Structure 1
Amino acid sequence: MLRIRPVLLALLVAAYVRRSGANTPANCTYEEIVGVWRFSESSQTADRMEVCDNGTIFVNNVTVELQYPNIAVDEFGHKGTWTMVYNQGFEVTVADRKYYAFSDYKIVSYVVTSLCDRTKPGWSHDIEGKKWACYQGTRVKGPFVGANRTHTIADSLALDHDVFRQDPAIINEINAVQNSWTAKHYPQFEGIPLTDMHRLHGGPASTIYSYPTPADVTQEVRRVADTLPEQFDWRNVSGVNYVTSVKYQGYCGSCYAYGSIGMIEARIKVLTNNTLTLDLSEQDVVQCSHYSQACEGGFPYLIAGKYGQDYGFTTDDPYLECTPDTKRYYTARYGYVGGYYGGCNEPLMRAALVRDGPLTVSVKMALSDDFVSYGSGIYGPTGVRHRRPNGEYNPWIEVNHSVLIVGYGSDAQTNKTYWIVKNSWGDWWGDKGYFKVDRGVNAMGIESIAVEAIPVPIPK
């Protein structure tokens, strides 16, 4: 079911443009964040809806050192944790307070300069979700202080005047070069504006310019993995289905909301022994979250995790106003599988999946890649790209798409191992809305940055 009302799509895109810090094209590395930071904080209030922008008045300072791999130590010796949040910003938890902000940047034409030694105005609060404040970070010591990096972003507006085409010869070529999966033609995508196809794949504000490589597998992790079942699927655990139905995101870059909420819904079913099934509102996330970019994109860590803990999820769809006082289901704790950005790997993902429920993951591809044509089988990229009948390629624009892993298995005939993944393109796409993808080889970056969140199944 399309949850983002068509009449609201233009409003949501406009809201994205107006939001403070909404577009996040910054591209910062671990080495550009680790070091000593000064956090300047405003007066603390009880208002979690406070807008943090360049007009904020800061009254307090605290110094925090971010150490390898995820240790944070403040000036008083209190120890906590920190993590990169994709390449967009970082979150710190220390001395019973949480801090999150996007990294700063500037744009001239389509050239982005990432100002990684300072942040945009961000949000802080105590670990109970009270005593909110705005803050801004400045790195005062560390490698590459003052060194700015630049990159070029795609002119996504240029897509407005072009449409997506599926040449039957390309479908045949995909099927001819491999026998692991079958491609098919989708008339639903034919002639769709490329701007809409871009949003379907994640949107321009969901780009991750450099995925981390999966972490090394320790002997302890390998021992745990050896105890796991060879096959596992949350859609059929002793005959019980713990996964909610496949939804359709439409041509709004809201896969981050669907992947996040799909995990929360499924894990609530797991926690309640399948006695509570919820249909949570993706529209509430898209319309109301300060941590995402409406229909232009977002990231699961900030939605399944941070938004879920700070604001909660509701079964009510907002129309034109956000109402935080509605009954909500909150996230108790969250993080990247492995504990921090860059700590994830395939055995850790299987262990987390079996233990607590489905995982939200991100996959990378190009807008013209073959994935959109998946029909059945175990997907692996072929390198064949969609071209128009005249031989021209559809534009190559890298995208980042959020989906939900619900299980894993292996194929006895080919010895291929795979993940079972729920998409948000409707049940007419793929294998009734699902796809299988190569496991253990980090296909599409799927084993790099899995996110897990533990929900509270009792609303408040």
Structure 2
Amino acid sequence: NQHIPQYCGSCWAHGALSALADRIKIARQGLGDEINLSIQYVLNCAAHTAGSCHGGSHTGVYEFVHRQGFIPYETCMPYIACSTDSTDGFCGHVDTSCTALNTCRTCDASGTCRAITAFPNATVAEYGTYSYFTGGFGAVAEQIKAEIYARGPVATGVNAEPIVNYAGGVVNNTKIWNMMVNHVVSIVGWDMDEETGQQHWIVRNSWGQYWGEMGFFRIVMGKNALGIESEVAWATP
């Protein structure tokens, strides 16, 4: 849940990095340890490229990791839902500046922490985008499906306001005024309603498993419902 231990508008980092972590597992054919990538490191160091607790860009995350050449695992820098411009909760009392200590650290029993300079990390080899603005609704849906099938989940924007109280089912809100994106999620796959023949996306949110369908929701495909097909980003590890 991106809002624990306090509110933080870091959906853009959660959506982008959860999709990238999935792609790493797929590229490994399911072998090796489960990993989570350090969202907090991105909040600490990518403010100018990607964003902060006040919002950001999923494409910017991939640009940042590609340029930096690495992103540490979460065990280096666990998520605390703070950025340098955040004052919610305890954020005003912690240092989230971009330093070696705030990239990867360990602490001893006395409370003294030190930076770790050699640590497990992931990379972004390349990244890109898909959008109905360039491909049209039907065409971009097929491009997204092909991308997911070939390499794994993608990050995408969505209008979150109509789904705040979502409790299940397939969202079919295609009103044009609800296509303005204000949230980032990750599309992990798709399915089809056998009765109607309508395909829909299966989407992972970052609000916790209490929400929706164990943290996921479904939304109609090919109609840019809630802007779901307008700002899609992918990256390869």
Of 24, 34, 55, 1:268 maps to: 24
Q: Of 198, 210, 225, which residue of structure 2 is paired with 1:443?
A: 225
Q: Please say if residues 371 and 381 of structure 1, whose CA atoms lie closer than 8 Å, have aligned partners that are also in contact.
A: no
Shift of 1:292: 2.5
Aligned to 1:373: 165
**Structure 1 residues 422 and 5, CA, compared in 2 at 3 Å: closer, same or farther?**
closer
Deviation at 1:381, TM superposition (A): 2.5
Shift of 1:341: 7.5
Q: What RMSD over aligned residues (CA atoms) do the two structures have, in Å? A: 2.6
Q: How does 1:304-315 map to 2 (within 5 A)?
A: 305-311=62-68, 312-315=70-73
Q: Which one-letter code corresponds to 1:263 in the other structure?
A: A
- Give 1:415 deviation, angstroms: 2.6
One-letter code aligned to 1:329: A
Distance 1:330 1:380, change over 3 A: same
State the AA in 2 paired with 1:373.
N
Is the contact between residue 361 and residue 403 of structure 1 (CA under 8 Å) also seen in structure 2? yes
Which position in structure 2 is the counterpart of 1:288?
Answer: 45
* Structure 1 residue 268 displacement after superposition: 0.4
Is the contact made by 1:336 and 1:343 (CA closer than 8 Å) also made in structure 2? Answer: no
Aligned counterpart, 2:123: 330
- Measure, in 1, the Cα distance between the counterparts of 2:216 and 2:227: 18
CA distance in 2, matches of 1:355, 1:297: 30
Paired amino acid for 2:9:
G
| Aligned partners of 2:124 and 2:235 also within 8 Å | yes
Q: Distance in 1 between matches of 2:135 and 2:231?
A: 8
Cα drift, residue 286 of structure 1: 1.4
Deviation per residue, 1:265-309 (Å, 9 max, x gap) = 100000001113211111111121131231011111110x21121
Deviation per CA, 1:324-379: give whole Å up to 9, x if none: 555331100001137x97357111000001000001111125xxx43111111101
Q: Greater Rg, structure 1 or structure 2?
A: 1
Structure number with the higher helix fraction is: 2
Q: Which has the higher strand share?
A: 1
Note if 1:298 corresponds to 2:56: yes
Q: In the alignment, what sits opposite 1:256?
A: 12
Unaligned runs of 5+ in 2: 79-93, 104-116
Shift of 1:5: 6.9
TM-score normalized with structure 2 length:
0.73
* Paired residues, number: 193
Q: Which runs of 5+ in 1 are unaligned?
A: 7-249, 384-395, 456-460
The match for 1:434 is 216
State whether structure 2 residue 178 is matched by structure 1 residue 357.
no
- Alignment counterpart, residue 317 of structure 1, candidates 56, 67, 77: 77
